[in-house]
Amino acid sequence: KQEVTQIPAALSVPEGENLVLNCSFTDSAIYNLQWFRQDPGKGLTSLLLIQSSQREQTSGRLNASLDKSSGRSTLYIAASQPGDSATYLCADPFSSGSARQLTFGSGTQLTVLP
């Protein structure tokens, strides 16, 4: 069964810093990898979806990469802002085994200090 790990569990940075969030997975037969953001008490908002044929995706200040051979994905946030404070989750949308499940990492709680 796919396992997804996110490091660090929590991160605090001053405003303006560039930062990297890490996601690793055990099964390299990954179909896609999706990054989400969750604000406290709210649902999940999709940030980026990297399909298996792609190496990276970019949206504004966010860039996500996928390296299937090493079992890793990274989310790069440029010029961080206090509004970026949230929990960031990565997930494999097509885990092996039971079809169509979503295996989540435990998340990285990001705090950007003004």
Under the rule (CB under 8 A), what is the footprint of another protein?
Answer: 31-32, 34, 36, 41-46, 49, 51, 89, 91, 93, 98-102, 104, 106-107
Give the number of other CB atoms < 10 A from CB of residue 35: 24
Three-class secondary structure of residue 102 per DSSP: coil
- On whether the CB atoms of residues 90 and 23 are closer than 8 A, the answer is yes
In the complex with another protein, which residue's Cβ is closer, 13 or 44? 44
Taking the complex as a whole, how short is the minimal distance between the CB of residue 18 and another protein, in angstroms? Answer: 25
Taking the complex as a whole, how short is the minimal distance between the CB of residue 71 and another protein, in angstroms? Answer: 19
Nearest residue to 23 (alpha-carbon basis) of 6, 3, 48 = 6
Taking the complex as a whole, how short is the minimal distance between the CB of residue 69 and another protein, in angstroms? Answer: 21
Nearest residue to 14 (alpha-carbon basis) of 111, 109, 87, 88 = 111
Strands 86-92 and 32-38: antiparallel
In the complex with another protein, which residue's Cβ is closer, 18 or 51? 51
In the complex with another protein, which residue's Cβ is closer, 80 or 110? 110
In the complex with another protein, which residue's Cβ is closer, 60 or 99? 99
Taking the complex as a whole, how short is the minimal distance between the CB of residue 104 and another protein, in angstroms? Answer: 5
- How far is Cα 90 from Cα 36, in angstroms, rounded to an integer? 6
